[in-house]
């Protein structure tokens, strides 16, 4: 293999509203330890990994809401140094593991759905990404505790860092002297082609994406409000795989997706589907459960070359002068009726 890299998606099973942060950290650290035993070098964790997926709840208690975020200011320092989660990052550095992990970020001036990529060599944050495509609404669908609401627009600001690729210099020596080019997305971002192509234009080789995807939320999706839970689960899994496999292929990159899965609170099911997809769009490894699980594959970054140099040679085949509508229009604008 030309530029080998052993990677893992760290799937995290059910985390209830009542689950303590200490319990979650213990589970995450065990996943790190298991990954190190299997000589993994990069581990991707889900969206908002340290807590339950709180945007499903209509929360009126300010103290409870604040408890779901990590306060990250000039005074606290970066997320890797904050008291509530420092143990996780210390363990990753001790084991020499690069990690991407998602969390609710509170800057003191705004709150974001965020993911950081942290070096296993130095413990430094190599890149921070804030979720751009926030789904759902500002107000709940209803106050029935069995309803899965989607209130990210209420609890987060849209990401403001854009789609900026970076070099994972911590993996340079492992990957034949050439640092992997990495991009980041969070959950709903994976459904939108624009972010993928922004990364494709920067030569990204590994796309890291954590997610919480509901297995049953007809109020959110629209359409058939009487859809069965079995059919809803099937559709959610299909669309998850569809977008990841298609966009990994059309941008000639590997993608590592990590799910928060399981049945939170016994009534809010989330799909699994943690997987590693290659630049041809094939699933090379996939989760087998809805519990805490490592999905591991040894990949070769040189496998990106075929697509980048041939079928999807962007510099050779794209026609950007024809794509103006993509940035000129914010929404659908049909042609006039004749």
Q: Which residues contact 81 (CB under 8 A, 6 or more apart)?
A: 89
Q: Which residues contact 216 (CB under 8 A, 6 or more apart)?
A: 148, 229, 232, 233, 269
Among 41, 91, 128, 131, the active-site one is: 131
With beta carbons less than 8 A apart as the criterion, state whether 113 and 102 touch.
yes
Residue whose C-alpha is closest to residue 295's, from 5, 4, 10 = 10
Q: Name the pairing type of β-strands 293-300 and 4-11.
A: antiparallel
47 catalytically annotated: yes
75 catalytically annotated: no
83 catalytically annotated: no
Among 41, 47, 175, 290, the active-site one is: 47
Cα gap 36→92, rounded to integer Å: 9
Cα gap 8→285, rounded to integer Å: 9
Count helices and strands (H / E) in the chain. Answer: 10, 15
With beta carbons less than 8 A apart as the criterion, state whether 187 and 172 touch.
no
* Gyration radius of the chain's alpha carbons: 20
**Beta-bridge partner residues of 276:** 256, 285
Cα gap 306→312, rounded to integer Å: 9
Residue whose C-alpha is closest to residue 179's, from 153, 157, 203, 200 = 203
Among 175, 187, 208, 304, the active-site one is: 187
Q: So which residues are the catalytic ones? A: 47, 131, 187
């Amino acid at each position: 293999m030309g530029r080998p890299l052993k990677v893992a998606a760290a799937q995290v099973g059910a985390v209830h509203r009542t689950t303590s942060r200490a319990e979650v950290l213990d589970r995450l650290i065990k996943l790190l330890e298991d990954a190190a035993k299997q000589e993994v070098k990069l581990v991707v964790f889900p969206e908002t990994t340290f807590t339950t997926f709180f945007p499903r709840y209509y929360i009126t208690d300010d103290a409870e809401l604040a408890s779901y975020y990590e306060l990250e200011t000039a005074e606290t320092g970066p997320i890797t140094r904050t008291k509530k989660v420092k143990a996780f990052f210390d363990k990753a550095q001790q084991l020499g593991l690069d990690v991407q992990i998602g969390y609710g970020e509170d800057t003191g001036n705004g709150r974001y759905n965020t993911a950081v990529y942290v070096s296993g060599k130095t413990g430094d944050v190599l890149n921070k990404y804030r979720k751009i495509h926030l789904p759902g609404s500002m107000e709940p669908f209803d106050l029935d505790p069995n309803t899965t609401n989607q209130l990210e627009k209420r609890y987060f600001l849209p990401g403001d860092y854009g789609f900026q690729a970076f070099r994972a210099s911590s993996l340079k020596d492992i990957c034949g002297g050439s640092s992997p080019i990495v991009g980041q997305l969070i959950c709903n971002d994976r459904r939108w082609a624009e972010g993928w192509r922004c990364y494709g234009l920067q030569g990204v080789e590994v796309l890291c994406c954590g997610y919480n995807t509901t297995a049953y939320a007809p109020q959110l999706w629209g359409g058939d409000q009487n859809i069965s839970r079995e059919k809803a689960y099937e559709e959610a899994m299909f669309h998850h795989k569809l977008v990841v496999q298609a966009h990994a292929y059309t941008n000639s990159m590997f993608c590592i997706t990590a799910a928060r899965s399981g049945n939170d609170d016994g009534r809010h099911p989330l799909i699994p589907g943690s997987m590693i997809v290659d630049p041809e769009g094939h699933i090379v490894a996939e989760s087998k459960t809805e519990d805490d699980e490592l999905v591991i594959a040894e990949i070769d970054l040189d496998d990106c070359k075929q697509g980048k140099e041939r079928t999807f040679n962007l510099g050779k085949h794209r026609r950007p002068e024809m794509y103006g509508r993509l940035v000129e229009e914010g929404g659908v604008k049909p042609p006039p009726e004749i």
